[in-house]
Structure 1
């Protein structure tokens, strides 16, 4: 995990429809929203933008429909290489997001073009990857397993965010990844599905994000454990906080930072991001993180 040259991200691209509500809707309830905003989202796009704004060279592998040209432009504007984003016949994926006054959210996803990424497209994108590079994966696109196999064969370090969580898919991914990223709930769900303790999940590296309790990185090979406390802030919108965290972790690793530094910078980035409205549009730049950390001992 030394001085990598690039991050490749096989990731979703969604059009986010964000509704501000006074409480999250209950079954059968019709609820008026106090505000509405359209923006770029998707776990993949969020992570790519987070990593690019953190100073990394990022190549996004994905797909949009004819309605998604502005999504590619937004990624490009953030510094992401979009050469491997295809335009397909299917509509761009989208998410309907409700956010309450405490910043909690409820999300409904439509995969759309994210399910139309081709094997040839992934092969072409990863052809130039090698040792020192990183591949980011999430559960909102097809071909995650195949991409991980290709990347691993080239010596690329593979990071997999097991979200939206699917136990069978996460279990299938474990043999072909280097770092598994989950939140506390996902870690317990995976542990239950495997019938084993979280600490003994068979993956070289495990990162668990724990909200206000911070994050923990476990190195199964050495037994080392790295902890990063969360920074206390008043959240406005927690949507995309996990993506912000992982994007910044990988960007720091790709730039040769050690694990403790990567976790601290990622915690700071996520703390900044949740104080802003939106998802990808709320991702902080590297100098924002520098300024934030300068005020924290």
Structure 2
């Protein structure tokens, strides 16, 4: 049971995203191209999750690293304004905050330019361990871009979370066949493994959600929840439960952070003890709200607003 009052602890990759849309081309020479919108957001496979869990009403702890620069000031300030506990965020001297420039195309695609920074140097210190593991749900996000934490250290973190009786959720970034060596040893300590289907296929060499789920369940994951883009989501539990839930029809503006938003929605569903199908539909609602605007938290207002959004979408399906 939590003693600090946090509902979720979100450990891992914290990034500043700088987004612009719509970008149809990069101007030649020193010319200027005018676009409609530019935003700064807290993002990453931990940052994008913790922002949305907070918006959904969960008492959220951010656990990661930023630099000592103006980007860090924005990231910490934005989380503070949402009521996120940032006391477990490290500020590292002489290292830039991890950041990404995203040129969002009219169809929602988002070619990215990324500066690796503080997240590569992040480790969960012994002084922060009790606080980080105190929440009933512990999310680790960002494997693949957490240079110091990736590998055996992440195994230790998830193993300790399970030793303390926590529910563990996990997502990654920049997955490839090589990333599998970092991910597979973690799975025996992961309750909910939540990659995109593209990531799941790239790491496993399997095709389709059913075969991918069998592969990861055989490797020790308790439950796989794959996001399928426009095809919805797929849930596979070690208990034999299998669900494929279609996506909602929406007008896509920007797909940045949709996977992180889904993770946040699913974590909120776990917190509220929703059944798997209801939880997936709620998580898809959070992702759909994000896809309808610019940035990894666009459109997300509150738990009740999201419930109403999902109810309206389900009613429209008949």
Query: Residue 9 in 1 paired to residue 13 in 2?
Result: no
**Contact conserved, 1:61 with 1:125, CA < 8 A, in 2?**
no
Q: Which runs of 5+ in 1 are unaligned?
A: none
| Counterpart pick for 1:185 among 194, 198, 203 | 198
Tell me the equivalent position of 2:161.
Answer: 151
| Counterpart pick for 1:161 among 171, 177, 181 | 171
**Contact conserved, 2:226 with 2:235, CA < 8 A, in 1?**
yes
Query: Residue 83 in 1 paired to residue 87 in 2?
Result: yes
Query: Residue 218 in 1 paired to residue 236 in 2?
Result: yes
Tell me the equivalent position of 1:49.
Answer: 51
**Contact conserved, 1:49 with 1:79, CA < 8 A, in 2?**
no
Query: Residue 115 in 1 paired to residue 124 in 2?
Result: no
Tell me the equivalent position of 1:106.
Answer: 111
Query: Residue 198 in 1 paired to residue 212 in 2?
Result: yes
- Could you tell me how far apart the structure 2 residues matched to 1:24 and 1:242 are? 26
Q: In 2 relative to 1, CA 88–178 (structure 1 residues): closer, same or farther, beyond 3 Å?
A: same
Matches within 5 A, 1:22-61: 22-23=23-24, 34-35=34-35, 36-61=38-63
- Could you tell me how far apart the structure 1 residues matched to 2:123 and 2:183 are? 21
- The number of aligned residues is 288
Query: Residue 260 in 1 paired to residue 260 in 2?
Result: no
After TM superposition, give the deviation of residue 207 of structure 1 in Å: 0.7
After TM superposition, give the deviation of residue 167 of structure 1 in Å: 2.3
- Could you tell me how far apart the structure 2 residues matched to 1:109 and 1:235 are? 23
- The secondary structure found in structure 2 opposite 1:138 is strand
- Larger RCO: Structure 1 or Structure 2 (Cα < 8 Å, ≥ 6 residues apart)? 1
After TM superposition, give the deviation of residue 122 of structure 1 in Å: 4.6
Q: TM (normalized to structure 1)?
A: 0.87
CA RMSD of aligned residues (A): 2.7
Range that drifts further, 110-119 or 97-106: 110-119
- The secondary structure found in structure 2 opposite 1:277 is coil
Range that drifts further, 64-73 or 33-42: 33-42
After TM superposition, give the deviation of residue 7 of structure 1 in Å: 0.8
Q: TM (normalized to structure 2)?
A: 0.82
- The secondary structure found in structure 1 opposite 2:195 is strand
**Contact conserved, 1:245 with 1:267, CA < 8 A, in 2?**
yes
- The secondary structure found in structure 2 opposite 1:79 is coil
After TM superposition, give the deviation of residue 55 of structure 1 in Å: 1.7
